[in-house]
Amino acid sequence: MRYAIIGAGIAGLTAAWEIHRRDPEAEVEVFEATDRIGGKLRSVPFEGGPVDLGAEAFLVRRPAARELIDELGLGDDVVGTSGLHSTVFTGGVMKPLPAGTVMGIPATSGPVAHLVSAETAARIDAEGDAEPVDWPVGGDLNVGELVRARYGGEVVERAVSALLGGVYSCTADDLGVRATVPQLAEAFDAMVEAGEKPTLSGAVQRVLDSRAAQAAAKRGEKEARGSVAATAEPSTSAAHPAGTQATGAGDGAQPADGAGGAEGDQDGVGKRRKRPVIFGTLRGGFRELYEALAEASGARIYLDAFVSGLTRDGEGYRLTGAGEGTYDAVLLATPAPTTARLLAAVSPATAEALGPVKLAGSVVVGLRLESGEGFPENSGVLVAGDEPGVHAKAFTFSSKKWPHLAERGGLTLRASFGRFGDDALIREDEDTLVDYALDDLKTITGFDAREAGVAEIYVQRWLGGIPRYDEHHLEHVAAARAAVAEVPGVEVTGSWAGGVGVPAVIADARAAAARLLGQGD
């Protein structure tokens, strides 16, 4: 069998590996329109070693990424975060990220009291007495509109948009509840189906209670295992002290910039608490992963190979613009607009379904400073949406967040700019973006990076990077999947299909490859 994969990002390369793993005799060719593999993962060569200027971590509790890393023999290179916490910049001050929330949405005013006015706090606490939320069971509502209507704009701008914006490069007003915070949507569904009054505070409390129950169950399992091990092999507990086993925890997607850990466990700015490892990455950057995939897949990979179309050729397919001959099957690992364009001839219904999916762009400025002496002991900062005078939406204090980067000396940082619908910053010239980064850093932290000495600068633009997961997104995805299922020998995958996090992309790509081989659901 001969397979064509369009797109050599993490989705396309994972699919190539999965096809090879399931069918070692398969002939796989991968076509990438740009001059590099990796897609939205990119490790740039700073002097001290690679630094990721795309996604920088994976959520440990979701196994897809770690399983793939282990399969490729990279498990020993996985590293965790420092345990330092992130902050939100609001009212001209760095404040702790709110604890005990669902992506910034609280059940009571307590978790966000330090971020909002007394009037807003009172409104949050009275929300349960308001009219019920008109929740569509199985459907979706806009995050920003829902939270603003129930709690007010301060919660949206200073907590929810700050957190979700780091994940999706969008404000809360561009995102859907079920599309981005599915646990909350499921809680609303359960309340309506149980005949309970659906309120935002009630739904959030349901999620928090579920998290607490799951955490307690995990603790019980660990304690039980530890008790058995201590009884059977007394030396084991001495050799491996309690708490050294890394486990995943928490809910929600990973904030791409600035957020140093999962929600909860926030003691205060700069404070560190012992807790399970939430995020992981590779010591040499995600370059290790995408280069290992490219090699292990055994695929022929063509760079600068722009595919402009796909047509039927008997029982197979031909590519327009790249590739030669007929392919038995084709897998598209491309952004939604590209997928729609490529499938216009063979599946107009898929193209129509994906037409409304829009992309959010961003730009990341990577900096290495000669010295970090006197820099705040935090992993990063998210900027409130209503904060004036700041251009950046977030900073990752990379050397503070990742111990393996701290070992290199100096101070490595990432400044992130741009949200959906705001292309002005993304298209600024590099000198202006660097000035914004340095100025914003001083405004937020008081640290003068110019005085500390700027040793290296990298600017990475992500034009049309992340799909907008609005309240209609899941409908578009479902329609596209249904349409593709009617086309033999064609499959689709990508961050628009299965989720924006690295584990979600990997899992969806492997599933798509299995379906293409007739071995999936």
- Structure tokens belonging to residue 230: 């201590």
How many structural domains comprise the chain? Answer: 2
In this structure, the answer to whether residues 350 and 485 fall within a common structural domain is yes
* Structural domain contains residue 308: yes
Q: Which amino acid is at 196?
A: E
In this structure, the answer to whether residues 50 and 80 fall within a common structural domain is yes
Say what angle helices 287-296 and 63-71 make with each other, to 10 degrees. Answer: 60
In this structure, the answer to whether residues 363 and 455 fall within a common structural domain is yes
Q: What is the pLDDT along the chain (521 residues), one digit of tens a residue?
A: 999 999 999 999 999 999 999 999 999 999 999 999 999 999 999 999 999 999 999 999 899 999 999 999 999 999 999 999 999 999 999 999 999 999 999 999 999 999 999 999 999 999 999 999 999 999 999 999 999 999 999 999 999 999 998 889 999 999 999 999 999 999 999 999 999 999 999 999 999 999 999 888 888 877 777 765 544 443 322 222 222 222 222 223 344 444 433 333 333 444 444 456 789 999 999 999 999 999 999 999 999 999 999 999 999 999 999 989 999 999 999 999 999 999 999 999 999 999 999 999 999 999 999 999 999 999 999 999 999 999 999 999 999 999 999 999 999 999 999 999 888 899 999 999 999 999 999 999 999 999 999 999 999 999 888 999 999 999 999 999 999 999 999 999 999 999 999 999 999 999 999 999 998 76
* Structural domain contains residue 328: yes
Residue 272 confidence (pLDDT):
47
Q: Check: CB of residue 358 under 8 Å from CB of residue 519.
A: no
In this structure, the answer to whether residues 366 and 353 fall within a common structural domain is no
Q: What are phi and psi of 360, to 5 degrees?
A: -105, 135
**Domain with 388 in it:** 45-84+358-467
Q: Report the chain's C-alpha Rg in angstroms.
A: 23
By the 10 Å C-beta count (0-12 exposed, 13-18 middle, 19+ buried), 140 is classed as buried
In this structure, the answer to whether residues 366 and 444 fall within a common structural domain is yes
Q: Check: CB of residue 48 under 8 Å from CB of residue 408.
A: yes
Q: Check: CB of residue 50 under 8 Å from CB of residue 78.
A: no
In this structure, the answer to whether residues 476 and 350 fall within a common structural domain is yes
In this structure, the answer to whether residues 478 and 399 fall within a common structural domain is no
CA 133 to CA 147: how far, in whole Å? 11
Residue 325 confidence (pLDDT):
92
CA 407 to CA 412: how far, in whole Å? 11
Q: Which CATH number belongs to the domain containing residue 414 in this structure?
A: 3.90.660.20
Q: Among 467, 484, 508, where does a domain finish? A: 467
Residue 223 confidence (pLDDT):
77
In this structure, the answer to whether residues 348 and 365 fall within a common structural domain is no
Which helix (H) or strand (E) is 462 found in, with range?
strand 454-467
- Name the residue among 149, 147, 168, 170 with its Cα closest to residue 98: 147
Length in residues, the chain: 521
* Structural domain contains residue 232: no
Q: What are phi and psi of 317, to 5 degrees?
A: -140, 150
* Structural domain contains residue 430: yes
Q: Which amino acid is at 426?
A: I
Q: Among 467, 488, 504, where does a domain finish? A: 467
Q: Among 428, 449, 467, where does a domain finish? A: 467
* Structural domain contains residue 290: yes
* Structural domain contains residue 269: no
Alpha helices in 126-168 (DSSP H): 143-151, 153-155, 161-168
Secondary structure letter of residue 321 according to DSSP:
S
CA 40 to CA 55: how far, in whole Å? 7
Which helix (H) or strand (E) is 333 found in, with range?
strand 329-333
CA 205 to CA 372: how far, in whole Å? 40
* Structural domain contains residue 434: yes
- Structure tokens belonging to residue 472: 């209609």
73: left (phi over 0), alpha (psi -120 to 50) or beta: left
Query: Which whole-number Å values give the CA distances from 117 to 147, 151, 304, in the listed order?
Result: 16, 11, 53
CA 247 to CA 208: how far, in whole Å? 19
In this structure, the answer to whether residues 319 and 463 fall within a common structural domain is no
Residue 276 confidence (pLDDT):
62
In this structure, the answer to whether residues 363 and 446 fall within a common structural domain is yes
- Structure tokens belonging to residue 63: 């196994």
CA 103 to CA 181: how far, in whole Å? 8
Q: How many angstroms separate the most distant Cα atoms in the chain?
A: 69
Residue 275 confidence (pLDDT):
55
CA 482 to CA 443: how far, in whole Å? 50
In this structure, the answer to whether residues 432 and 375 fall within a common structural domain is yes
Q: Which CATH number belongs to the domain containing residue 495 in this structure?
A: 3.50.50.60
* Structural domain contains residue 224: no
Q: Check: CB of residue 88 under 8 Å from CB of residue 97.
A: yes
Q: Positive or negative, the Cα torsion across 430, 431, 432, 435?
A: positive
> What is the CB-side half-sphere exposure of residue 30 using CA atoms within 13 A?
31
